[in-house]
Amino acid sequence: MVYSKLIPNWKEYLEAKYWPTWIGLGILRLIALLPYQLQFWLGFFLGEIMYHLISKRRHIVEVNIDICFPELSEQERAKIVRDHFHYLGLAVCETAIAWWASERKIRSLVTFKGLQHIEKALSDGKGAIIMGAHYTTMEISGCFITLDRKFAVSYRPFNNQLMNEITYNARKRIFDRIFERTEIRQTYRYIKGNHLMWIAADQDMGHKQHSVYAPFFGHAAATQTVPSRMAKVTEAPVIPYQSRCLPNAKGYEFEFFPPLENFPGQSLEEDAALTNKVLEDIIRISPEQYLWVHRRFKTQPDGKNLYQ
């Protein structure tokens, strides 16, 4: 069966509640057979449909863009919103590429910059924490980042058991190790063994034990302290990166930036402000390719709901 590698125990998921997932998986498999240029424009077409159909998510994107880019005109902000949905649609096609494309095709799509920062970290023998954000290119980025080097990644299970197994097994084929978010000690040991850990700790998980408030695009945002705590325990450098899709189906550019300096600092709040500023600067390069459908500012110090 064509899905056996992703779902070894597929017979356990034949109930009617899983049929929509099976249909979606079949569509992805067909998309994976297309040449990249067709995948690119199909993705933009899907994104245009999503823009018109999912008004609730479009509202979230509009609020986020208004908060983060007040200096832009209304027309400029509207363009980012619409372009963002185009890249969300493309992310569907990128998932198909990530799960089924050959290594040859993956290599043909990407150009790397800043690899010297990775090599320096490994030569120092302390491993590295590769810090990114939830870019729209995130799924296909896993294929890029593991082409010539072993990486580990953290994982949060889905509620849909079939989707959870598909995604886990797909990523298991790509990454050296997959750690659940509760496997903190195992993650630290892995990094200390001079390995590379890929993280994206930019989403609002609520103002809980491992989050603090820090400015993001000039507005208070509940910010995870994972990079700071991880760097403090492992003494590994934190290397920011960006993976962005180039226009007109020209492929992708994956860039590693210099490690954060004087990190971790004196406080979690100081570190969170720094990581947010670094990610903000990177996001501004291609703002339409950040995951604005997430309610990044849902947790506010005054309890206000910005998305009403």
pLDDT digits (tens, 9 = 90+) for 49-68: 999 999 999 999 999 999 99
pLDDT digits (tens, 9 = 90+) for 221-264: 999 999 999 999 999 999 999 999 999 999 999 999 999 999 99
> What are 288's two structure tokens?
């339409």
Return the domain boundaries, the chain. 18-289
Look at residues 135, 139, 136 and name the one whose alpha carbon lies nearest to residue 282: 135
pLDDT of residue 1: 41
pTM (two decimals): 0.93
**CA gyration radius, the chain:** 19
pLDDT digits (tens, 9 = 90+) for 110-151: 999 999 999 999 999 999 999 999 999 999 999 999 999 999
